[in-house]
A and B are shown apart, each in its own frame.
Chain A
Amino acid sequence: MSVTKNYFVYHMKRILLLIGGGGILSILFMMSAFMLTRYDYRYERIATYSVAEPGTIMMIVMCLACFLPILQFYEFKNRRNLDTWFSLPLSRRKIALIHYAGGAALITAISLICTVTGTIMMADQGLKHYSVGYLWLFFLLSTLFALAVYTFMTFVFIEANNVFDGASMEMMWLFLPICAVYLVILIIGAITMDDVFDDSFGFRLAEMITSPMIFSEYLSDVSGDMINTGYHGESYYAPLASSDADPSVYITVVLIVWGVIAAASVFLLTRSFAKKKTELVGGVTDSVIGYRFWLPVASVLMILLTGDNSIIRLFMMGMIFFAYLVYRRGIKTFKKADIIFLSVATFFAILPIDYIRVLRGFFG
């Protein structure tokens, strides 16, 4: 066997152990979710169910999607470890792909274990409230989405030079893009004088594409409705989006977009892993997709999204300053650009002006 196959098999054996441990935990979660599910029969249909099983699966796989990049790649964020890893007769690209594949296998296996557990639990309850086919459709969709998010997060984590920065950058990419969408919508709304927040198909789509959490919730809610059929075989339908768009449109578009993101991320993560200078590992992260990009963006978002409340803004500028301290590992290493940007941002933050309203006034 070649070295590549040897190490792939070796790594997958380690993953198998994790699947064993993680699988047991997932089964317990799923069983608890089913046992806690309560049905309330009203108007000849199920009106409420307290715990949605798809939601449990989604929560588990999404947590894995964010946590597994760290688990699979934290060993490569220590420069001393790299003396060993990078002198071994296996290319960096292959090491990255094998570890990436390990995480992907773990997500798929845990998702499968959850779905099989769900199917067994439904069968145990006589299948009267459930449509098992939809559960398996949900398995396919949620796993694909989780894999796409995992792939992107792996790229983000690899771009960092240390574990803390990697985890921070993952958090930034989880929460900040949706804030940017809100801001864009606010600005468009201010210009067009329309309230595009709730009823717009485009807004809902942008929200779901930029926030894995929002899409996860949407996907599990829609699937929950399909899976939990009513007493008479009817689905309890809670309108999840106020627009009339078919949920399958949202789901298809989001999955296609994330599929493209994932494909690009596979290329980027192997490239980043192979090209990263070993001597920079463990030091400050200066990636263009990390602090360097998100701290200025977060500052602008915060100033524009907090109305005219200077006190909140000052508090948040304090947090941004702290984030810069973390980024630069101390105040002495601040660059001129950082100081100029922080000064300008603080100036605009102090002014008790609602900039969006000003914009609205300007266009109105």
Chain B
Amino acid sequence: MITISGLSHSFGKHEVLKDVSLQVKDRTIVGLVGINGAGKSTLLRLISGVYVPQQGEVLYDGKSPLDEKTRRDIFLLPDDPYYSGQTSCRSLMKLYKTFYPAMDTNVYKEIIDDFRLDDKKPLRTFSKGMRRQSFIALAFAVAPKYLLLDEAFDGLDPLAKKKFKDRLSDLIRTKGTTVIISSHSLKELGDFCDEYAMIDEKHLIGSGKVLEDTLDICKFQLAFKAQPTEDMFSAFDIKSIKITGRFVTLVVSGDGDDIEKKLAALSPAVMDRLDVDFEEAFIGDLDRKVRGEG
């Protein structure tokens, strides 16, 4: 289990994370979501031992990632991993084999072949997606107990994304790996994470098993006999609102049952509760903040 407690971190006077606490159970995939600059990468660096926490602590079954022995069970795939000008897939495999002696080189070769990557060509000649594939192959070959992925889907084509997700599920099933995966592309995480944690403005603003729980939001579609206006919903904590003719699509923060009762008081002709489109809600929330309404 990964236990993050009271984690705060600043770059000079700029506070990036404040009092972040989270527990990640074994054999789960946790999606770490937030906009660019929210602090996802900083949190992953703190979790992996790259940064030393200024306040709070991170523990893996009671052990600190600042100890090299703990890091034997951790594999961080950063947003932009290190490779030199001459590094090829083959030399990358040799380098990582020195750090992770139990790494399965056959798995690495198999994935590289699957992605149709030339293992002798320098990585600098690869596209961003191909480079990402070569590092993803490393992560699966290492098969660590804890896998930390920063913007792992970045640059991957749809087929590569599907292969990646399938392999990740296999890894958790066969090796019992715990995964924390960060992304700002929320659609990518929507269909396969066990839990979600959302970071915004230094804080972890929510975590839970389903997206709605994470944000404490719900979504409704309503139809009115008369033309509705935004003012009608001023009593609600609106995350996003879309009015098309007499139809209203509403994402609201708060308790779902309470909101449903209040909306029913507005006498809509039709009212349906929908699954939350997380990205839409998230972006709506941001829009409001940008407009100074949040």
Contact = CB atoms under 8 A, between A and B. Distances in A.
A197 B81 CA distance: 55
Interface residues of A, number: 24
Given A81-B82, A89-B71, A278 B45 contact: yes
A198 interface: no
A277 B101 contact: no
Contacts of B78: 80, 83-84, 87
A203 B75 CA distance: 56
B188 to A, nearest CB: 21
Contact of B48 (A80, A87, A91): A87
Nearest to A8: B98
B50 A86 contact: yes
B74 A3 contact: no
A3 B72 contact: yes
B95 A10 contact: yes
Nearest to A93: B68
Given A7-B99, A87-B48, A278-B51, A75 B84 contact: yes
For the side of the interface on B, what is the size category?
Answer: 20 to 34
B76 interface: yes
A279 B68 CA distance: 19
Interface in A79-100: 80-91, 94
Contact of A89 (B51, B68, B94, B148): B68
Nearest to B75: A87
Interface string B33-76: 00000000000010011111000000000000000110110111
A249 interface: no
A248 interface: no
A279 B45 CA distance: 10
Contacts of B49: 86-87
Nearest to B69: A89
A80 B98 contact: no
Given A3-B98, A3-B99, A10-B98, A89 B82 contact: no
A1 interface: yes
A242 interface: no
A6 B98 contact: yes
Contact of A87 (B50, B69, B79, B98): B50
Contact of B76 (A10, A83, A91, A277): A83
Interface of B: 11, 45, 48-52, 68-69, 71-72, 74-76, 78-82, 84, 94-95, 97-101, 148, 150
21 contacts: A3-B68, A3-B101, A6-B98, A6-B99, A7-B99, A10-B94, A10-B98, A75-B82, A83-B45, A83-B76, A83-B80, A83-B81, A86-B50, A87-B48, A87-B74, A87-B75, A87-B78, A88-B71, A89-B69, A89-B100, A90-B68
Interface of A: 1, 3, 6-7, 9-10, 75, 78, 80-91, 94, 277-279
Q: Which 5 A-B pairs have the closest CB atoms?
A: A83-B78, A84-B82, A87-B76, A6-B98, A89-B71
